[in-house]
Structure 1
Amino acid sequence: MPIKVVIIGGGSSYTPELIEGMLDRYESFPITNIVLVDIKEGEEKLETVGKLAKRMIKKAGKQIHLTWTLDRREALKDADFVTTQIRVGGLKAREKDERIPLSHGFIGQETNGAGGIMKAFRTIPVLMDIANDIHDICPNAWLINFTNPAGIIIEALIKYSHHKRVIGVCNIPLNMRHSVAEILAVKPSDIMIEFIGMNHFVFGSKIYVNGMERTEEVLAKLQEKLDYSPANIVSLGWTKELLESLKVLPNPYHDYYFHTREVLNQDVRAFRENGTRAEVVQQLEKGLFKLYSDSKLNAKPKELEERGGAYYSDVACSLMDSLYNNKGDVQTVNTINNGAIFDLPEDTVIEANCVITKDGPEPILVGNLPISIKGIILQMKNTEELVIQAALSGKYEDAYLAFLMNPLIGDEKMSKTLLNELLIAHKEQLPQFKEAIRQIEII
């Protein structure tokens, strides 16, 4: 039986890791056809990645037909799985998302604060178009999205697109498992964490090693300032007071919320010394694509781990494997709440442990949110809803409210300043805000 996977954003530097993940699972997930898709601006990278992917497949000796194209609708014909890893506006847009907030004394980060909101504004309409194409052309296909901000995008698609077979994935929960395994000197496969919350704002409520709970031990060891972050986030460590008060495991992105001033100072220093993270990544990308262009390279280079996306292939490919084989195993994904967390609406999207079947993820019951994190999770979920509303309406007042209510902004006048400057900076990728931007420019 043929299995066709379409990778939208196929010219991404992450694609070799995704190809590696598919090759590693070929015995249980025997893909027959892979199509890489990108836009005209990414054509050169698409061809470079496509040639490397072909060399990887040849080295593995697998019978997989791989092609690449700029014609998305043609590529989607007969697709069984579609993955999305796009960056609307490219790394130059990310640079603006980071540089502009930093210039005004706010966190500049691609998925949190003002930068994360702007990325959602640019990305949601594009993913809506992709999802609607999938619904028209290959309605039975699963859309597996790891474009950030993943949770917000999945909620927008589930609520407002025609296509409902969508699941969001992120490497952070798996990264947390690997980090905990290293802390306890055990194998990652021995670790099970009960996750509760949303994408990039998820907590570990319980930690088990081979079925035995060891949450308190892990929280105690984290007080020793052990490193606990992916390559793109510098760990600042967690204090005894915070860990003993929360009684849950934070994720690396919580540095932005619980160490805001320290992170901001650190980011400003890094910005002055090396530029924004986006500028650093652009240099990393140049090096990666130089490696990818080597006709002798036939494997994912280790240097890719410096991009901060380690374990994406494990997450995405394990999910596709489980959906295809109706495995019924437990994985952490972004999907509809459906009553798993009592304090959140049933139709909202959460990041949680789910049983994965051929019919999709089934969230495992969580119950009530712990009182220690309930308020901030409800606030973040409300902020996400406001971001989606603004991204789809294109109304200035909706966008302003999303900025104002974000805990990394929360300033009446600066919300307006940041929003106005960012809207103008990104106006080419924000057609829905055309009238709002026109009004700003008149003033």
Structure 2
Amino acid sequence: MKLAIVGGGSTYTPELIDGFARYRDVLPLEEIALVDPDPHRLELVGGMARRMLARAGHAARIVTTSDVREGVEGSDAVLLQLRVGGQDARQADETWPHEVHCIGQETTGPGGLAKALRTVPVALGIAEVVRAHAAPGAWIVDFTNPVGIVTRALLQAGHRAVGLCNVAIGFQRRFAAIAGVQPDDVSLGHVGLNHLTWERSVTVAGRDILPGLLIDRLGDLAHDVHLAPSLLAQLGAVPSYYLRYFYAHDEVLAEQLAEPSRAEAVRAIENELLGLYADSSVDEKPEALERRGGAFYSEAAIELLAQIQGAGGPSRVVNLRNDGVLPFLPDDHVIEVPARFADGAFVAEPVAPLDDDIRGLVAAVAGYERLALDAAVHGGRDRVVRAMRAHPLVLQHDRAQKLTDLLLAENRDLLEWAS
């Protein structure tokens, strides 16, 4: 099997390589093409990847290139892990919304809209190259944020694509550790949109253990997601930590105004990692990579790629077309739920009706996502204002216009239609 990783110069990539080495029997890779426009990063990450595979005795060949066509040529699957604009753009996304008293975050709220506008056109361009030059039937696995919007863009354009996020697998591992079982023994009632999800059940050996955990381990679960125990108890569910931007907006904003941005911390970690990758004696995944984020990313990617290659197995949480699963959303909207891969397609498992408060928030954010995708594909300030105003963290028209002006000022060089 040949796998292409577009954005292969990312400091995340050795996390994937470590997983490929550990799970070689699950995913038999013969070639891994790392594609990235930054030749310096490619050299460092490519060298690190080769040393890691050599240490593990893995025979896969690492190829590095800045040419997307060359990298995806003949690939059986293509993994997208892009960051258009790099850490500079992330730093901006996390700070300019503060001028209008909104949280700054790279996937949620105004910053998430900026990232969608930058990313969707690039992802669609890469996908066209994949369509023309990858192996027949090749899948695109999108790990690029905002995953829901990018995946819908790919599906809307007719590409064979599925979205992947590590939130669900992180919860699965956490609940498995609590229950003292293997991760695949845990099934999650995971539902929502990417970065807007709730765990409504945790099934082990046919029994939902979540009600008991919300009594016996309520404090621990609330601490994990940085939310009030009373909120989890009232919901009867565990929200993802991204829900904190909604459920505790003012608290988060106050923290952001008082502390360095996450982008600053990530930039420092990345510099440390690139220094380690440049050291020819380093051939194991560095401890510092755990501080970069993306826990269990490699396991999630490998499980998904193995299923696409016919390995079977239990349901996995993915981003895919709604197709009636959440009846209050359009069929072509992208949701994040457990699904099985069968007969060449992902099929979502049924989802019990959502409570009114959860359904209302999902519907509101889904409306924003549709407008955000329209703005990303077609451009134009008016489309951006409309999407911005639709986001539940914005709503006010004057605020939406001010945020749009800030967004365009920060991203003018990264948006073809705005330059």
Say yes or no: TM over 0.5: yes
Task: Answer yes or no: is 1:52 the counterpart of 2:48.
Answer: yes
Query: Which AA in structure 1 matches 2:11?
Result: S
Displacement of 1:186: 4.7
Q: 2:234 aligned to 245, 248, 256, which one?
A: 245
Q: What is residue 441 of structure 1 aligned with on the other side?
A: none
The match for 2:335 among 350, 368, 373 is 350
Partner Cα separation in structure 1 for residue 357 and residue 315 of structure 2: 26
Check if 1:114 corresponds to 2:110. yes
Specify the SS of the correspondent of 1:83.
strand
- Are residues 1:360 and 2:345 paired? yes
The one-letter code sitting in structure 2 at the alignment partner of 1:206 is S
* Matched position secondary structure for 1:400: helix
- For the residue of structure 2 that corresponds to 1:310, the secondary structure is coil
Deviation at 1:257, TM superposition (A): 0.5
**Which string of whole-angstrom CA distances, capped at 9 and with x for unpartnered residues, describes residues 101-123 of structure 1?**
12332100100010001000000
- Whether the 8 Å contact between 1:183 and 1:221 is mirrored in structure 2 is no
Is 1:127 aligned with 2:112?
Answer: no
User: What is residue 83 of structure 2 aligned with on the other side?
Assistant: 87
SS in 2 for 1:329: coil
Equivalent pair of 1:355/1:363 in contact (CA under 8 Å): yes
* Deviation by residue 1:126-180 (Cα, 9 ceiling, x = unmatched): 0010111111112421101101000111011111x242x1011000011122233
Q: Which residue of 1 aligns with 2:254?
A: 265
Secondary structure of the residue aligned to 2:309 is helix
Q: Which letter does structure 2 place at the counterpart of 1:140?
A: G
| Structure 2 residue 357 is matched with structure 1 residue 372 | yes
**For the Cα contact (< 8 Å) 1:322–1:329, is it kept in 2?**
no
For 2:65, the equivalent position in structure 1 comes to: 69
Gaps of 5+ in 1: 230-234, 435-443
1:349 and 1:337 mapped to 2: Cα distance?
6
Deviation at 1:225, TM superposition (A): 4.9
Q: Tell me the equivalent position of 2:200.
A: 205
For residues 250-278 of structure 1, the C-alpha deviation after alignment (integer angstroms, 9 at most, x for no partner) is 111111100111111111111xxxx3111
User: Counterparts in 2 of 1:87-236, with a 5 A limit?
Assistant: 87-138=83-134, 139-159=136-156, 161-163=157-159, 165-184=160-179, 186-221=181-216, 223-226=218-221, 229=224, 235-236=225-226
Of 14, 17, 20, the residue aligned with 1:19 is 17
The number of residue pairs the alignment matches comes to 418
Structure 2 counterpart of 1:325, which letter?
G
TM-score with structure 2 length normalisation? 0.96
- Alignment partner of 1:397 is 2:382: yes
Query: Residue 30 of structure 1 aligns with which residue?
Result: 28
* Residue segments in structure 2 that go unaligned for 5+ positions in a row: none
The answer (yes or no) to whether the contact 1:33–1:65 under 8 Å persists in 2 is: yes
For the residue of structure 2 that corresponds to 1:425, the secondary structure is helix
Find the aligned partners of 1:391 and 1:301 in 2 and give their Cα distance.
36
| Cα RMSD after superposing both structures | 1.6
| Cα deviation 1:200-251 (Å, max 9, x = unaligned) | 011112111222111212223453255655xxxxx433232x2233222211
2:371 is matched with 386
Residue aligning to 1:437: none
Q: Does 2:308 correspond to 1:339?
A: no
TM-score by length of 1: 0.91
1:440 aligns with none
SS in 2 for 1:107: coil
Superposition pairs of residues 301-320 of structure 1, within 5 angstroms: 301-320=286-305
Distance 1:27 1:181 in 2: 23
Find 1:286's aligned residue among 248, 262, 271: 271
Separation in 2, partners of 1:385, 1:256:
20
What is the CA–CA distance in structure 2 between the aligned matches of 1:214 and 1:249, rounded to whole Å? 12
